[in-house]
Amino acid sequence: MNVFNRMRRSLTVLVLVLVFGLTTACSSVATRSPQASSPATDANHSIEYGRLARGDSALGQNFGDWVVQTSKGFVKDAFVRDNNKLGVVISPQVRPDEVKPLAQSLAQGFRKNFPNQDLTVLMYAPDKELILTARYDNQSRQVEYQAAS
């Protein structure tokens, strides 16, 4: 049974890598007009504040939402800052050997949505401790990984 569970988890990570690598965030997320995003009540205000925390631009917010929605529970939270930094809080079900492939997949999807610039993907553990940084260099088209110390 242990071998079966391990194969199932590996297959799930592989599927996530393919999903993040082959799809784009904007195709599945509808944009909202500025009037629709203004909170009408205090209850809506807290919901809107949480959505704004995902990105400091509409495109960043949409991409952060998309990452969480399509991760099948592997990503608890995501945020985009300055349209070149993606922070991701992984769930406890992500094994240590799955973090780097997940970061690579996220970097590929991030690059497709925010092209022609250097990008950074910050991977955080469930306790929000930084565990891995992936830096994409647009000129060399290479990703460099650095484990947190």
Which pLDDT tens digits describe the chain residue by residue (149 residues)?
Answer: 676 677 666 656 655 554 555 454 444 443 333 333 333 334 443 444 444 478 888 999 999 999 999 999 999 999 999 999 999 999 999 999 999 999 999 999 999 999 999 999 999 999 999 999 999 999 999 999 999 87
Specify the DSSP element, H or E, that contains 108. Answer: helix 99-113
- Domain spans, the chain: 2-27+56-147
pTM reported for the whole predicted model: 0.69
Give the fold, CATH level 3, of 2-27+56-147. Answer: GMP Synthetase; Chain A, domain 3 (3.30.300)
> Distance (Å, rounded) from C-alpha 24 to C-alpha 127?
28
